[in-house]
Amino acid sequence: MMAKFIFPRLARWLGTGLLLGATSMGYAQGTLKVLNWSEYIGPEVVAKFEKATGIKVIYSILDSDDTLQAKLLSGNSGYDVVYPSSNYMAKQIKAGVYEPIDWSKIPNKQYLDPMVMSHTAKNDAGNKYGVPYVWGTEGLIVNVTKAKQAWGGELPPLNFDLLFNPENAKRLQKCGIALIDQPSEASTMLAHMGRDPNSTKLSDTEDAFKELAKIRPYVKLFTNNVIMDFSSGDICISTGWSGDYSVMKRRAKAAGKDYDIRYATPKGATGLWFTLMGIPKDSNNKDAAHKWINFLLSPEIAAETNNEITYTTAVLAARPMIKPELLNDPFLFPTEAQMAEYFTYKPQETDLLRATNKLWLRYKSGR
């Protein structure tokens, strides 16, 4: 997944109660350490869990899957619950860094969406180590209001050609172009090129970067915090995540800006991802970790989180409590026909992952 800005209330927690015990070398009785992405939980969830269980939560913010992987592989992550992306977790499972989930301690499993469980089981046989949390897609986000001004009239169809065609990018650079700051943008480009986005060939990845290089002069920003840039009007087109565009619309409206912000999922070129909850093997409070996971799977808490962050909850039973404007959004709750058009990100082998990361850094530097 991605790093984003912190909820104001969550930021206050991080500056006060939640981190009061963070400097202690040992674990207090009933203390739980959680490492999650920012803006990825309902703002009252931590307080509700602490009140319901008496367990003190120390909540930290994750900035990237690579950071999490480094912590886990060190054998001393320092956390009890972490939130990996499904394609990263697959490799981490092979490395033996996770404690098997004791499903007998998670009765709220009954509320999980069987479709999501089936998808995540492809990289975690039998859902032995990962508990689905939320999921979404990587598509195209366009501030149509600003983009029309830069284009000089009505826009062509909203698909990746609007961004990846260098002639189009040249016209839209005036209103701001961004890319997600992730090497997986190469997968998106491969899918756009009609190739396997999960290709294991380095030559395919190199070809993807050659195509990306054609729009590099017009890219203003590489960011995982695209919400603020869209809401302020600094960016008009970017690759982006499904939950973000809904938050962008809400924030732009709150700021009094009448922006027409849209999301597109180009057929065959839209990536599907899942965020899971896992318990590191070095966790010092596995019982509390199971309690936390079970709490987040309760339909009421899952709906509260979904309504706030707008990413699609893995808890099927939460849907009756989700805001209608979110539940009826086909980009947040796609149909089976839509899902069939998406591809799922798969784990990369170590050598290819290392090479892709190097190519991405070189690409961003403009070399």
* Domains, in order of start, for the chain: 8-136+273-336 (3.40.190.10), 138-272+343-365 (3.40.190.10)
More confident of the two residues 93 and 234: 93
Token pair recorded at residue 119? 């998808």
Per-residue pLDDT, 64: 86
- pLDDT of 27 higher than 70: no
Q: Cα separation of 127 and 162, whole Å?
A: 39
**For residue range 115-162, what is the model confidence (pLDDT) as tens digits?**
999 999 999 999 999 999 999 999 999 999 999 999 999 999 999 999
Instruction: Name the residue with tokens 């082998």.
Output: 349
The whole-number average pLDDT for the span 219-242 is 89
Per-residue pLDDT, 253: 84
- What confidence tier does 231 reach under pLDDT thresholds 50, 70, 90? confident
What's at 85, amino acid-wise?
S
Per-residue pLDDT, 5: 37
Q: Which of 27-41, 64-78, 216-230, 260-274 has the lowest mean pLDDT?
A: 27-41
**For residue range 288-333, what is the model confidence (pLDDT) as tens digits?**
999 999 999 999 999 999 999 999 999 999 999 999 999 999 999 9
Per-residue pLDDT, 318: 98
DSSP state for residue 315 in the 8-state scheme: B
Token pair recorded at residue 137? 């897609």
- What confidence tier does 29 reach under pLDDT thresholds 50, 70, 90? low
Residue-wise over 126-164: b if at least 16 C-beta within 10 A, else e?
A: ebebbbbbbbbbbbbbbbbbbbbebbeeebeebbbebbb
Entry field: residues in the chain: 367
Q: Cα separation of 326 and 298, whole Å?
A: 19
Q: What are phi and psi of 263, to 5 degrees?
A: -125, 140
Cα–Cα distances in angstroms (integers) from residue 214 to residues 156, 163, 269, 363, 366, in the given order: 20, 11, 19, 11, 11
Per-residue pLDDT, 235: 93
Token pair recorded at residue 78? 């320092």
Per-residue pLDDT, 66: 86
- pTM for the predicted model, two decimal places: 0.86
Average pLDDT in the chain: 90
- pLDDT of 63 higher than 80: yes
pLDDT above 90: percentage of residues in the chain: 77
**For residue range 173-207, what is the model confidence (pLDDT) as tens digits?**
999 999 999 899 999 999 999 999 999 999 999 99
- pLDDT of 356 higher than 60: yes
